[in-house]
Amino acid sequence: MVGVSSGTTPHSGRAERPSSELGRLPHSHRPDAHLAHPDDPHLPPGPPGESRAGIVAAPSVRRYVTESGGQRPARQDERAAMGHDREMRPGTDDGDKRWWRTELIALRAALPPEVRAAEAAALAGAMADLVDRPGAWVAGYVPVRTEPGSLAMLDALRAAGARVLLPLTGPPGPLDWAEYRGPDHLCRARYGLLEPDGPALSPAAIERAAAILVPALAVDRRGVRLGRGAGYYDRTLAAATTTARLIAVVRDDELVDRLPEESHDRRMGWALTPGGLHRLAEGEPSGPPGIVR
């Protein structure tokens, strides 16, 4: 999700903290800590030895960045050393989630721009397959910085006949939504995110969506999704219909065997990667897990 403004948001009327005040707060105590990205240019520099999101890459990621220069994906032995195949017990994994987030964010930051662009094009090319009928609603988001994808995903959905919902910033709780009507109708909002300039439709608008694209750092083959930790989507998806396709959008290497899970986590039915659309093990009953397209 993308964009920066001062003052109030067009939808909520809530006043923002001045950026100078945000800069004095430790990152973990800032109100935007759950939304901001580690390489967001709107974040103030952190203290010496800390990245701008308060995250220092773990040793395995530092080796990947310094030795490879970000020019290749991690090898299988590197991924195994990073714990991609570890068994993890539900309900006891908050520390493990933080570890995974640190690793995955650093790996995304090391990705060459040309690889990111090619993957974004592949994701946009898959959008038409998500629209089952003209006028169907699809909930999406605006990818920001190192998130897979681009605005082209949203435009491809509209070109295929879908109506597109995008989330609006707000207080902790279920996300509010507005309709995406094209890039010329996006405006800067809180925390440097881009939002539609049209009216807010309320959190209940998610009930309209036949498919919901969910941002993720990773997803496993059981459907367990790793987000950034704010819980917005876990709360939002409770209102989705039981027939809506819940689709985590990740890179191919971010579809892993097993992630830590907590009791409040909402599982996904599908994963969309540059390599295709994957049905997950505890996804929809229409077929076995595996790649669909």
pLDDT tens-digit map of 148-173: 999 999 999 999 999 999 999 888 88
Higher pLDDT among residues 29 and 180, named by residue: 180
Residue length of the chain:
293
Residue 292's pLDDT band, with cuts at 50, 70 and 90, is low
- What distance in Å separates the CA atoms of residue 272 and residue 248, rounded to the nearest whole number? 6
Query: Is residue 4 over pLDDT 80?
Result: no
Residue 93's pLDDT band, with cuts at 50, 70 and 90, is low
Least confident residue range of 28-37, 177-186, 271-280, 282-291 = 28-37
Least confident residue range of 53-57, 114-118, 289-293 = 53-57
Query: Is residue 95 over pLDDT 70?
Result: no
Most confident of 28-32, 49-53, 192-196: 192-196
Q: How high does pLDDT run on average in the chain? A: 74
What would the mean pLDDT of 102-128 be, rounded to a whole number? 97
Domain covering 113-279 in this structure, CATH number: 3.40.50.10420
Output the pLDDT for position 146. 94
